[in-house]
Chains A and B, each alone.
Chain A
Amino acid sequence: MEGFQWLSCYLTTGKHVSFYLSFGTVLLLLAVTAPAAMLFGFGGAMAARGRIAPLRWLGKAYIALVRGVPDIAFFLFFVIALDQGIEWLRHQVKCPDWDQPIRQGSDFVVCSAAKMPLGTSPQWMHETYGFTLAVLTFAIVFGAFAANVLFGAMRAVPHGQIETAEAYGMTHRQTFWRILVPQMWIYALPGLSNLWMVLIKATPLLFLLGVEDIVYWARELGGSKTPKFTAYPHGDWRMWYFLGLLVFYLAFTKVSEVFLDRLTARLSHGQATVGGTAQRKTS
């Protein structure tokens, strides 16, 4: 086999199929994480500007803490802590008459009914669980940044709008949901679009969490292979695989940019911003 035929066989091995599927993993991560992070962000921003002091402290502490810790440190710490925390809670509930210590030297030992997922679960459950932890961690990290962006955006809405709403007799809640929230997006969009870009580029962190993502497979497939263990021996091809990843990320961010530009145009409509005024003049 050689030339095109070799390549087409090579590119359709089971291993390559796993590689292609891992692109799906990344896209799924983004699709789930982005809304989840927005929820965390919105919650954080609402808490940070809330009228109840402890809630406000909580929101501000969340934003300050998570933004101040390096992503990687947070990822490494939080995923283990969360996993052990969940297992510890389940252990307390399910095995109340367990008499051995949970920490034995460096081992973390809980009863087998408290394991998350259970030792008997199939592999896909373990993978889904790992993926869920990853999504949650991503959402918390990016949620903090989103919270800060939204917090700023809420303050950027012209004060006259709020005053007018109040003059019409709207309650605080009504003002928030009907006047402030619909108008804040245009102020939040530059910050949020930045976050989206950073989030796309942060997906290789999945690899750090043990999820077999595109970086894992690119490295595994690109590494040199000796004829003894594969039907497709080759030298060090990592450069080509990583180049492929580069193209993928560039294309993906480009598509995002186009989409975000359209969104900006749409949200500027009727706003008292430079962009909104320009739209009014041209139309």
Chain B
Amino acid sequence: MKSLFLGTAVLALSASFALAETVRLGTEGAYPPYNFINDAGEIDGFERELGDELCKRAELTCTWVTNDWDSIIPNLVSGNYDAIIAGMSITDEREEVVDFTQGYTPPSPSAYAALSADVDLKGGIIAAQTATIQSNHVVDTGATLVEYPTPDETIAAVQAGEADAVIADKDYLEPVVEATDLIFVGEDVALGGGIGMAFRESDSEMRAKFDAAITSMKEDGTLNTLIAKWEVGGTW
């Protein structure tokens, strides 16, 4: 009798947990304007606002967690958080491990930035962040790739002369080019299929909720307003 009672209590408890479940959103916090840590030490940026709005529309409580870019997919898969919202481009390679929502930004161009206009983009040394679509692209072009764990270090590498140029999403480089000696070189390259949220493959229900929320934000134009506010690539 006692164990029966206990069993029901546990059941009731777990049911109430399931109702009030919070979704943990994982981000990098080092990739403005998408996500970064602001002066107050809080996660801020385009994806912060987007994520909060999506959670509101999907009627979920969300909390934010930061994680290194390197291990952001493994830690999602092992369950440290429930979704990645970190400027992650949708690619076939990543699709094998995680499931993406539809893109919340249209495919945006990547660009090279360097200290002078005459750098050799095909044979020189190019800095890129580890495990990004850009780092894959550098390997394909035949240039020498140097990888760094954070986007910030790729810029520092060019400024210190360790690399000839850096390649990253153009919307990341734009404020950097504005504020430093770096200039855009060469032509923009179209990489990736837009940026989406990534979920565990076993979490299709939650992914569907966010997918629907993204659709609704696309339809009423709020997504475009957000994109324009944070200047992240083109609008829909």
Contacts and interface: CB of A to CB of B under 8 A. Distances in A.
Interface size class of B (residues with CB under 8 A): 35 or more
B150 A219 contact: yes
B113 to A, nearest CB: 13
Given A119-B22, A126-B65, A226-B32, A15 B201 contact: no
Given A13-B40, A123-B63, A106 B82 contact: no
A224 B79 contact: no
A223 B156 CA distance: 8
Contact of B200 (A107, A123, A228, A229): A107
B33 A210 contact: no
Contacts, number: 117
Interface size class of A (residues with CB under 8 A): 35 or more
B36 interface: yes
A18 B21 contact: no
B75 interface: yes
B63 A107 contact: no
Given A14-B41, A109-B202, A229-B36, A212 B18 contact: no
B65 A15 contact: no
Given A119-B22, A223-B156, A18 B41 contact: yes
A226 B78 contact: no
Contacts of B22: 119-120
Contacts of B49: none
Contact of A120 (B20, B42, B156): B20
18 contacts: A14-B39, A14-B41, A14-B42, A15-B41, A84-B78, A106-B201, A107-B77, A107-B200, A108-B78, A112-B14, A112-B18, A119-B17, A119-B21, A120-B17, A210-B68, A223-B30, A223-B150, A235-B180
Interface string A209-247: 010100000011001101111111101101000000000
Contacts of A230: 38-39
Contacts of B38: 15, 229-230
Most buried by B among A13, A87, A112, A226: A226
A112 B13 CA distance: 11
B97 A14 contact: no
A218 to B, nearest CB: 12
A38 B38 CA distance: 40
B152 A223 contact: yes
Given A94-B10, A118-B17, A223-B156, A15 B32 contact: no
Contact of B37 (A126, A220, A228, A236): A220
Nearest to B14: A113
A98 B218 CA distance: 38
A226 B67 contact: no
Interface in B5-37: 10, 13-14, 17-18, 20-24, 29-30, 32-33, 36-37
